[in-house]
Amino acid sequence: MHSTWLTGCLTLTILCLANVPADGAKVEVSERHSFSHACVAADHPLASEAGAEMLRRGGNVVDAAVATSFALSVVRPESCGIGGGGFLVYWDAAKRQAVAIDYRERAPAAASRDMYLGTDDKPADPRLSQVGGLAVAVPGEVAGLCWVLENYGTLDLPTVLKPAIRLAREGFVVDEMFVEAQRETLDDFKRHPEYVERYAALYEVYLNGGEPFTPGDRFHSPLGKVLELIAQQGANGFHRGAVAEAIVATVKEQGGIITREDFSAQQPVVREPVRGEYAGYEVISMPPPSSGGIAIIETLNILTAFERLHPQMSLTHLGQNDPLAVHVVT
């Protein structure tokens, strides 16, 4: 019988390997932790704590994942958020079944394949697909997380949203990553001075009026009210009503084509996971439109063939902290 190994564990292992120095120097491990029940790992410790709080309340892994995701919307606004989307692979141990939930953003119904193309008189502007209203897709994060919680979670939505709402209302101490994202965005604003007026709310709130924070400053996120609406009304608090109308109006002001119908129609899609094998483990991951699952499984297939030819170079033989393992993986 094969063991089941979700690709999050594999990705974490590869990321750890990527930090190993290639010059043969001794690897220093700063901290080791052992967990007998569960653990939560996210891009910010406060988001991890949000998930751990759900586990302490008696919640399951889905409760923890949803709480963590909403908390990341607050503490990592530059890379995560309710204005985007995501993927989730869930293993139902009782049913011995894996499901893949796709709640990535969708193109508006009015989108077309030539919407970013230029004409004979006017060349294409590459930034149309990167900045402004036409670059905005229909968010799927809220619909997806609420659906996942309803179908696989055990705690109610207000409980799961409490940590994110608390972080937004009470504020949190910003770290170097937050400040660096501010600086990079402000550099873009300096290259395009018109952005200050065009994206005034972003400039005044998230960019602190052009004065980046220093690590240790406290930031109060404006997402608190929206998260409270979601806690009260579920996905409708975001995909219908005042929030949806405000987003649609703002996107249209910036040249976008999203409609209220696009917002209200957004629903997650349940897909069959992709599967592979490596070292006696079954690997389960996200199928397209995610590229990650296919890339990981194909990488492991190549690695398996390589290790058959060169068993002395196998990851099992080399060990995690051997610099040669980094070369093999890369």
Handedness of CA 33, 36, 40, 45 (dihedral sign): negative
pLDDT in tens, 95-142: 999 999 999 999 999 999 989 987 777 778 888 999 999 999 999 999
Does the structure show a pLDDT above 50 at 308?
yes
DSSP state of 273: P
CA distances from 200 to 129, 195, 309 (A): 20, 8, 59
Better-predicted residue by pLDDT, 25 or 105: 105
How many other C-beta atoms are found inside a 10 Å radius of the C-beta of residue 261?
13
DSSP-derived secondary structure letter, 131: S
Q: Quote the CA–CA distance of 271 and 220 in Å, as a whole number.
A: 37
pLDDT exceeds 50 at position 16: no
Q: Which of 89-98, 155-164, 261-270 has the lowest mean pLDDT?
A: 89-98
Name the one residue in this structure whose structure tokens are 């697909």: 129
Q: How confident is the model at residue 164 (pLDDT cuts 50, 70, 90)?
A: very high
Cut 0.85: pTM above it: yes
Based on C-alpha coordinates, what's the Rg of the chain?
Answer: 22
Which two tokens mark 26? 């001794």
Q: How far is CA 285 from CA 43, 138, 293, in A?
A: 20, 24, 5
Of 40-49, 147-156, 315-324, which gets the smallest average pLDDT? 315-324
- Residue linked to tokens 């406060």: 46
Q: Where are the beta strands (DSSP E) in the chain?
A: 3-6, 86-92, 97-103, 172-173, 218-219, 269-271, 274-278, 281-285
Considering only CA atoms, which of 163, 160, 156, 157 is closest in space to residue 224? 163
Count the helices and strands in the chain (H runs, E runs).
Answer: 15, 8
Asked whether the predicted pLDDT for residue 309 surpasses 60, the reply is yes
**φ and ψ at residue 204, rounded to 5 degrees:** -75, -40
User: Residue 29's pLDDT is what?
Assistant: 59
From the CB of residue 99, how many other CB atoms can be counted at a distance below 10 Å? 18
